[in-house]
Amino acid sequence: MPDGKPDLSGFWQGPLLRNMFESVGGPPFTPAGEAAYRYNMTKSINPEGLCLFAGVPRASISGVPFEILQNSHRLAFLYELMTAWRSIPLDGRPQPPMKEIEESFFGHGVGRWEGDTLVIDSIGFKDKLSWVDDDAHPHSDAMHVIERWSRPDWDHLKHDLWVEDPKSTPSRGPTAACSLTWLRESSRWNTPATKTTRIWRTGWGSARRILNWTESSKSAVERALSPLRRLQPPIHFRVLKRPLQAERLLHDIIRA
């Protein structure tokens, strides 16, 4: 990257970590966390079966490919799972006060660099209809997730995960780690990662469209945005429940 930081961009796929706590001997449940886990196992429905977003950390440990886009100011994850995305500022800003954060499945993430490792700090999560992994482990609105992303070589991305939740699963140190492999071309999108980027947009019901633009071309972005402005009613995104968040994401990613 021009700023000397590693470029994490590309299509990536890692293993499915069905039980995120397996490597640390199981989740260190509080009594409330144990009760929530029993409820999820016996009375709850997998949120993905309800077409709800997997959120963090589940989307990144699902085994489903995703794309990373990066410039000096911001990094974005474009997930094939539930066709969702999240955008992370890289300027080292602190988290705002909790009262200013709108709870979401992906939380509110901010990024900073520690040498060649990107550290993403996320808080402000929804605590209903959300599991941290495929094994139905619960979390509360107090969950705090720290992700450490690094690229040890061209073909691999290292993902270290630390999850703390004082109401459900207090941390005992690092929670999980995995290695992701670079996919030269997405089998689903069939698009070279270095030339064209695609964002899948999922709104209420079955409304689904795809935007294509060349990263360095502002005119292409404008052409992609024009259909959004004409949509009646506007499609709303379920990540943050705010309309036309994609417009901000597009401009953030290409901004010099």
pLDDT one digit per residue (tens) for the chain, 256 residues: 878 899 999 999 999 999 999 888 888 899 999 999 999 999 999 998 888 999 999 999 999 999 999 999 999 999 999 889 999 999 999 999 999 999 999 999 999 999 999 999 999 999 999 999 999 999 999 999 999 999 999 999 999 999 999 999 887 678 999 999 998 654 444 433 333 333 333 332 322 333 333 344 445 545 555 554 454 444 333 333 333 444 445 444 444 3
CATH 3.40.190.10 fits 10-183, yes or no: no
What's the confidence (pLDDT) of residue 226? 56
> For residue 123, what are the β-bridge partners?
108
- The helix (H) or strand (E) run that includes residue 177 is strand 176-183
Domain locations in the chain as residue ranges: 10-183, 196-254
Question: What is the pTM for the complete model shown?
Answer: 0.72
- Report the Cα 217 to chain-centroid distance in Å: 25
Residue 224: DSSP 8-state: H
